[in-house]
Structure 1
Amino acid sequence: MPYTPGETAERLGVSIDTIRYYEKIGLLHGIRRTSAGRRVFSDDDLSRLGLLRCLRDSGMPIARLRRFAELLQLGDDGAEQRTALLEEHDREIDERVERLRLEQKRVREKIAWYRSVSQ
């Protein structure tokens, strides 16, 4: 089922500008266009965009997103490299989560301390 840019943006919870930007910087390839030149997105395009958005939201830098998009273009030939890139990103997420947990612990300790002195 084809989707307009507006429908695509709404389904993914992003702006149309984000979709345009992703296309401009080379994250989206092969987006079909109507005879009037308007972009039309497929379910596969939405899936790819959703994954790219997930990676970006989880802290993947644009340069690495570009590399991932390049590897997507290789199909099965890029699967091993995509897997390695995702594994590296997963490890980085784990490290960030651990740092956040430590910071959260400090915040909770401070909350407890303030509650104890304000009673």
Structure 2
Amino acid sequence: MTIAEVSEKFGLSQDTIRYYERIGLIPRVNRNKSGIRDFTEEDCRWIEFIKCMRSAGLPIEVLIEYVALFQQGDETIEARKELLIEQREQLIKRMEDMKKTLERLDYKIARYEQAVVEKEKTLRRSVD
């Protein structure tokens, strides 16, 4: 699969994919005889994983550490698990914070909706 196809498939720019490869977030992608990147299904699984983790807010540095641990083999399973648990806990905290923000926004919107209704009532009374 070419970088253009991968870019379209995952909704990432080609520059982002190249950057992820350059900093080690995805393993070095094999190239064909012409020197063009030839992405495998395994490469695509890494891109999908990284995209998912980034959209959940995981920092690039954490993902670089995770990939480096993965590449070291099975002796790092516990370290990888701990890293993911820590990131999960941080994500839960962010989600709780976002829920509080959403509730506050809902409250404020409801107040404005109420104010609009009251204003309309006042205008109708003044016209009558």
- Answer yes or no: same fold by TM over 0.5: yes
Write out aligned runs for 1:33-112 (5 A). Answer: 33-112=31-110
Residue 18 of structure 2: aligned partner: 20
Q: Which sections of structure 2, spanning at least 5 residues, go unmatched?
A: 118-128
Q: Displacement, 1:33?
A: 1.0
Query: Number of residue pairs matched?
Result: 117
> Distance in 2 between the 1:80 and 1:42 partners?
27
Seq. identity, %:
36
CA contact (8 A) 2:21 2:28 kept: no
What's the CA shift string for 1:70-110, capped at 9, x where partnerless?
A: 01212322222111111111111110110011011111111
Asked if 1:114 is matched to 2:125, the reply is: no
SS at structure 2 position matched to 1:55 = helix
> Distance in 1 between the 2:29 and 2:73 partners?
16
Larger helix fraction of residues: 2
Aligned-CA RMSD value: 1.2
> Distance in 2 between the 1:78 and 1:53 partners?
22
Q: Displacement, 1:118?
A: 1.7
> Distance in 1 between the 2:7 and 2:69 partners?
24
| Runs of 4+ residues deviating >6 angstroms | none
Amino acid at match of 1:117: A
Residue 8 of structure 2: aligned partner: 10
Which region of structure 1 is more displaced relative to structure 2, 74-83 or 104-113?
A: 74-83
Q: Which sections of structure 1, spanning at least 5 residues, go unmatched?
A: none
- Which one has the largest radius of gyration? 2
> Distance in 1 between the 2:69 and 2:10 partners?
22
SS at structure 2 position matched to 1:77 = helix
